[in-house]
A = this chain, B = another copy of it.
């Protein structure tokens, strides 16, 4: 069982396993080779996952059988559980809540050998359609306040299964990291009456130094304040607060630029581990004035060390200008 806990000092939340803690001998940091054996995300092994939530399927194929293109299932080992009422209270001087939420897995392809960046644009589009439809469905549940979509690729990025997949977590709180970003954007908006992300896009288009690629509705660039080497963001050029409001045409453009960007990163950095995260507004509007949804890709090339942990202040050994040049020029 998991518990949410709130730090009385910084307001930071954690989720902690209180009934089944990992023991010292459970950790293994040795790099893992590609495993043989049976993968629960491969076509033919549908019975190894919890029953499917949604899928894009060939006609005449049934639920939890083969013949799918993208398949969404509940996480077998969810960080948060969907059953139960939200229970938030204090214990002594601390505040906690139970771990209510949803944790789903979007299996991007039945083919174990492919990575997300290897999919065709059509296949990538189907994946993004599923991101959107799962958010729209889960948002009906009034207990959920934030929808976090993220991908871990490779062991160093925290991927526990190598078959390519994305995760969606529906949270009963708005995470601190999101609040900070929303508040930062709102402060800027209150001062300038403009969206900070729109200003950044205009700046990057003019300077060109950090731009990786563009299409008519999206831009990919290495942000001026990149925490990590080769960090790359993808933003819709038109101001939009919510990812889930993306229209079908823009899903196609997003698929195209995401495929292109992942291919550039893979080629430039020899298939590095990476995380990506969709930053979007909370479910019900509130402090999202001046917020602009986007996707942040963070290759895992360095180890976060004491300096970063102590300061929240990242040391980046590659300027985003240099990173963008490499990513722009790669064949």
Residues on A facing B (Cβ under 8 Å): 5-18, 21-24, 26-27, 29, 31, 79, 92-94, 146, 148, 150-152, 155-159, 167, 169, 171, 175-178, 180-181, 184-185, 188, 196-197, 199-200, 203, 207, 224-227, 229-230, 268-270, 272, 275-279, 296, 298, 300-307, 309-323, 326
Contact = CB atoms under 8 A, between A and B. Distances in A.
For A93, A157, A175, A184, the residue with the greatest tally of chain B CB atoms inside 10 Å of its CB is: A93
A226 B3 CA distance: 12
Contact of A306 (B229, B275, B302): B275
Contacts of A279: 310
A228 to B, nearest CB: 9
Contact of A29 (B9, B27, B156, B314): B156
Nearest to A308: B158
For A177, A311, A314, A322, the residue with the greatest tally of chain B CB atoms inside 10 Å of its CB is: A311
A164 to B, nearest CB: 13
B175 A313 contact: yes
Given A17-B316, A79-B307, A177-B310, 4 more contacts: A16-B226, A24-B268, A93-B199, A158-B305
A181 B309 CA distance: 13
B9 A148 contact: no
Contacts of A8: 184, 188, 196, 200, 225
Contact of A307 (B150, B296, B318, B323): B150
Q: How many copies does the complex hold?
A: 2
B93 A200 contact: yes
Nearest to A322: B21
A10 B224 contact: no
A27 B313 contact: no
Contacts of A268: 24
A27 B269 contact: yes
A196 to B, nearest CB: 6
For A24, A197, A298, A304, the residue with the greatest tally of chain B CB atoms inside 10 Å of its CB is: A24
B6 A157 contact: no
Contact of A175 (B6, B23, B312): B312
A64 to B, nearest CB: 26
A31 B226 CA distance: 25
Contacts of A21: 317-319, 321-323
A62 to B, nearest CB: 32
A145 to B, nearest CB: 12
A318 B226 contact: no
A326 B24 contact: yes
Given A14-B314, A177-B312, A92 B277 contact: no
For A146, A227, A317, the residue with the greatest tally of chain B CB atoms inside 10 Å of its CB is: A317
A306 B277 contact: yes
A10 B313 CA distance: 12
